[in-house]
């Protein structure tokens, strides 16, 4: 019978990230579907009793905590060592964890240390024949596959946003402390801090309802024969402020910015979606001035409702990928959209 462990970590605030609660819900379901053996929760961080208490009602049979000051920082060496200690104490055969940057970095190494296997970016999870079946994408969201493994332990990293989050009442959890020892070889790395975009310049909002995708068309010559990057920048930033949307950019637009052209100064590779960018999850997506496969196919693979504004009614990438294609001048449309959002009409 499988032993399911849901492995979590705290974030820089000391709390559990939403993706962790999604893993808890998935673990509870797997624990029930894989022979009803239940599941354990492991938490890595500094001062994690409150986090265990938050999950007291989730149905876990055990709470294993790796609690140490060194784990307040997201660092491969200590994270991998702590995860190894928790996994060994749990005797886990199936380890579910959120694919946060911290665990995406550390848990593949855990698979090697345990002699197991790891699969990442999991977007679907089910049970068949007493073993998990995971779904993930290959070739940058172009091919989808479902697979099982016989090797154990099997570490499964769940893509954030792909599963519902666990919600429930907090309580008092009986936590089992996992013995830890961090020698100097594991603390050669020190976290110096977090760099955030300047206030008002934050354009990436993972929890936003809307993804606004800007394409290179914003930098091209307009009807008067001149490009208007300043207007484009103003319209886009104004829209982001009013709608609280997250900003994505096509590769061509992002590359223009990176090459020092006088275009959309706020656009960086962090905003890029597509083959070499992100594939974010949002309920809605609005693509503007985009002409290409990457924004329309790869970049919004996980966007539920999709609309596009561009001047080409025959845009082969928007057709069949968007729900609505507005054939119009994005400058004029977004200018008016901003006015309407201001008016509250």
Partner 1 sequence: MSEAFHIVVCGSVAPDPLQTLEPVTTAAGPGLKNEMLLPHVLDPWAGHALYEAANLAKQAPGTRVWLVSVGPKAKLQQVMMTVAQKVPFELVAVDGSASGFADAHATAAALADAIGAIPGLDRSRLILSGGWESATRCSSVTLQLVGERLGIVDQFQGVDRLTIEAGGALRLTERIDGGRHQVSVVEGPPVVVGWATGYLPEPPNNPQVGMANMRAIMPALQKARPVPAAGGGAAFLRVEQPKQVRETRIVKDVPTEEIAREIVAWVRGA
Q: Which CB sits closer to partner 1, 58 or 337?
A: 337
Q: Which CB sits closer to partner 1, 145 or 171?
A: 145
Q: Which CB sits closer to partner 1, 159 or 175?
A: 159
Q: Which CB sits closer to partner 1, 60 or 285?
A: 285
Residues 84-103 that bind partner 1 (CB under 8 A): 100-102
Q: Which CB sits closer to partner 1, 62 or 117?
A: 117
Residues 290-319 that bind partner 1 (CB under 8 A): 293-294, 301, 305-307, 309, 313, 318-319
Residues 111-140 that bind partner 1 (CB under 8 A): 111-113, 117-121, 133, 137-140
**What's the rounded Cα separation, in Å, for the pair 8 and 45?**
9
Q: How far is the CB of 80 from partner 1 (least distance, A)?
A: 7
Q: How far is the CB of 114 from partner 1 (least distance, A)?
A: 11
- Paired tokens of 342: 């201001």
**What's the rounded Cα separation, in Å, for the pair 15 and 35?**
31
Among 79, 80, 72, smallest CA distance to 45 is for 72
Q: How far is the CB of 269 from partner 1 (least distance, A)?
A: 4
Residue 13 backbone class (left: φ over 0; alpha: ψ -120 to 50; beta: rest): alpha
Q: Which CB sits closer to partner 1, 164 or 258?
A: 258
Q: Which CB sits closer to partner 1, 62 or 307?
A: 307
Q: Which CB sits closer to partner 1, 53 or 120?
A: 120
Stretch that binds partner 1, among 24-32, 43-51, 145-153, 165-173 (CB under 8 A): 145-153
For position 202 contacting partner 1 by CB under 8 A, the verdict is yes
Helix 229-243 and helix 330-343: axis angle, to 10°? 40
Q: How far is the CB of 66 from partner 1 (least distance, A)?
A: 16
* Chain-centre distance for alpha carbon 88: 27
Among 117, 114, 134, 103, smallest CA distance to 30 is for 134
Name residues whose C-beta falls within 8 Å of residue 74's C-beta, 6 or more positions apart in sequence: 9, 12, 101, 102, 105, 191
Residues 320-339 that bind partner 1 (CB under 8 A): 320-329, 332-333, 336-337, 339
Q: Which of 104, 165, 170, 180 binds partner 1 (CB under 8 A)?
A: 104
- Going by their DSSP bridges, the two strands 154-158 and 131-138 should be labelled as unpaired
Residues 211-270 that bind partner 1 (CB under 8 A): 243, 245, 255, 258-259, 269-270
Residues 25-64 that bind partner 1 (CB under 8 A): none
Q: How far is the CB of 182 from partner 1 (least distance, A)?
A: 11
Among 88, 52, 55, 61, smallest CA distance to 179 is for 88
Three-state secondary structure of 113-141: HHCCEEEEEEEEEEEECCEEEEEEEECCC
Residues 167-196 that bind partner 1 (CB under 8 A): 185-186, 188-196
- The string of DSSP codes covering 239-289 is HHHHH--EEEE-HHHHHHHHTT-SS-TT--GGGBBSTTSB---EEEEEEES
With CB under 8 A, what is the number of residues at the site for partner 1?
97
Residues 61-80 that bind partner 1 (CB under 8 A): 74-77, 80
């Amino acid at each position: 019978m499988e032993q399911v462990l849901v492995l979590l970590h705290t974030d820089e605030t000391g709390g559990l990230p939403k993706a962790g609660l999604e893993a808890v819900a998935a673990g509870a379901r797997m624990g029930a579907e894989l022979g009803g053996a239940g599941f354990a929760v492991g938490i890595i961080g500094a001062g994690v009793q409150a986090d265990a208490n938050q999950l007291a009602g989730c149905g876990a049979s055990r709470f294993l905590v790796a609690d140490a000051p060194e784990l307040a920082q997201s660092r491969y060496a200590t994270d991998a060592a702590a995860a190894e200690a928790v996994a060994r104490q749990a005797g886990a055969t199936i380890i579910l964890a959120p694919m946060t940057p911290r665990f995406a970095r550390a848990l593949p190494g855990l698979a090697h240390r345990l002699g197991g296997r790891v699969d990442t970016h999991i977007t679907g999870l089910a049970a068949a024949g007493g073993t998990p079946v995971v779904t993930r994408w290959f070739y940058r969201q172009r091919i989808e596959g479902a697979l099982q493994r016989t090797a154990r332990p099997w570490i499964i990293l769940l893509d954030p946003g792909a599963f519902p989050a666990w919600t429930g009442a907090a309580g008092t959890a009986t936590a089992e402390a996992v013995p830890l020892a961090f020698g100097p070889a594991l603390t050669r790395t020190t976290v110096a801090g977090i760099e955030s975009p300047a206030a008002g310049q934050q354009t990436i909002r993972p929890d936003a309802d809307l993804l606004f995708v800007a394409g290179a068309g914003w930098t091209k010559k307009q009807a008067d024969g001149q490009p208007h990057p300043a207007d484009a920048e103003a319209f886009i930033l104004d829209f982001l402020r009013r709608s609280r949307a997250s900003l994505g950019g096509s590769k061509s637009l992002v590359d223009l910015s990176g090459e020092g052209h006088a275009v959309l100064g706020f656009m960086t590779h962090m905003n890029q979606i597509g083959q070499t960018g992100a594939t974010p999850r949002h309920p809605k997506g609005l693509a503007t001035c985009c002409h290409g496969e990457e924004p329309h196919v790869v970049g919004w693979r996980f966007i539920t409702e999709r609309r596009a504004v561009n001047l080409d009614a025959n845009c082969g990438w928007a057709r069949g990928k968007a729900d609505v294609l507005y054939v119009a001048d994005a400058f004029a449309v977004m200018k008016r959209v901003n006015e309407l959002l201001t008016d509250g009409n």
